[in-house]
Structure 1
Amino acid sequence: MEIKTFEDLIDWTRQLHAHLARCLHESASLNKDERASALLDYLSSHESLLDKTVREFERQADPKAMKTRLYDYLNHKPITASRASDTHYADMAFKDIAREIFQFHDQVMDLYTSLIGKAEIPEAKSLMEDLLALEEHEAMRLSSQINRMDDL
């Protein structure tokens, strides 16, 4: 997907969350570790919820911000939602799954943080700040839930 505007970026981010949800869901039934499988199920649901939430951001965002061009995006390292295999999580342990998911969310937050400083209009900056706040909140929620699951 070629990313030219904030609208493209947000749609791409939403697609990444949807793709990640599918990968996690497909891997859940294949993972032989019961705890890891339960984590994959939870994470899949969480990523599906993020997909829907970001879709709502797309729907409600200021059209002026959405149509703003992104010139510096290509300088940011691309985010990878998963490796070559859609079911690579099936072979991972609980802690490795959690680490990879947090790395993915950290990359998204780093991207939003970078773009906040580069936004040329206040509406675009506000949009990125809102999306960053969403990602930060969801990362904290994920951390809390994963820590509870790990304690069991």
Structure 2
Amino acid sequence: MDIRTFGELIEWTRDLHKNLAECLGHCATRHEEERATALLEYLSSHESELARIVDEFEHQSASNTLETRVYDYLKHNPIKTHRTCDEPYAKQDFQGIYREVMDFHEQVMDLYRNLWEKAEIPEARELLGGLLDMEKNESMRLARQIGRMDDL
């Protein structure tokens, strides 16, 4: 997707979370380890919820903010994720799945942080700050929940 505006950035991020949710859910049905299957199901549900939350940012933001150009996006490294689900998580262990999903969230936060630092328009900074805070909080919640699962 060619991202030119903050609205397109939000759509793209939402679609990344949605795609990850679908891939994790698909892999959950194919994993042989019960513990990893439970993790994949939980992560799939969490990513679906994140896609919904990101979508809310689009509905709550002013149209002029959503139409603001994102000039520095092209300079940012693309986020690495499984854009097509060839069952990568079905072959990983619990810790491997956890590391990869947390790395995905770190990449999203890096993108938001990078754009927030360069945003000149207060409304764009506010939008990016909100997205960044949401990703940080959800990543911390995810880490806590997975830590509890790992303790079991």
TM-score (norm 1): 0.97
Contact 2:28 2:40 in 1 (8 A): yes
Contact 2:31 2:91 in 1 (8 A): yes
5 Å-filtered alignment, 1:1-150, equals 1-82=1-82, 85-150=85-150
Contact 1:3 1:9 in 2 (8 A): yes
Distance 1:66 1:25 in 2: 31
Flag as ranges the 4+ runs of structure 1 deviating above 3 A.
Answer: 83-86
CA apart distance, 1:65: 1.4
Unaligned segments of structure 1, at least 5 residues: none
CA apart distance, 1:84: 5.2
Question: Percent identity, aligned pairs only?
Answer: 55
Distance 2:116 2:129 in 1: 7
Q: Indicate how the Cα distance of structure 1 residues 48 and 34 shifts in structure 2: closer, same or farther if over 3 A, else same.
A: same
CA apart distance, 1:85: 3.8
Contact 2:14 2:51 in 1 (8 A): yes
Q: How many pairs align?
A: 152
Coordinate RMSD, CA, aligned: 1.0
CA apart distance, 1:21: 0.2
Distance 2:137 2:107 in 1: 15
CA apart distance, 1:47: 0.2
Q: Indicate how the Cα distance of structure 1 residues 75 and 23 shifts in structure 2: closer, same or farther if over 3 A, else same.
A: same
Contact 1:39 1:146 in 2 (8 A): yes
Unaligned segments of structure 2, at least 5 residues: none
Deviations 1:62-120 (A, max 9, x none): 22211110111101000122265442100110000000000000000000000011112
Deviating more after overlay: 84-93 vs 125-134: 84-93
Contact 1:19 1:81 in 2 (8 A): no
Distance 2:78 2:151 in 1: 34
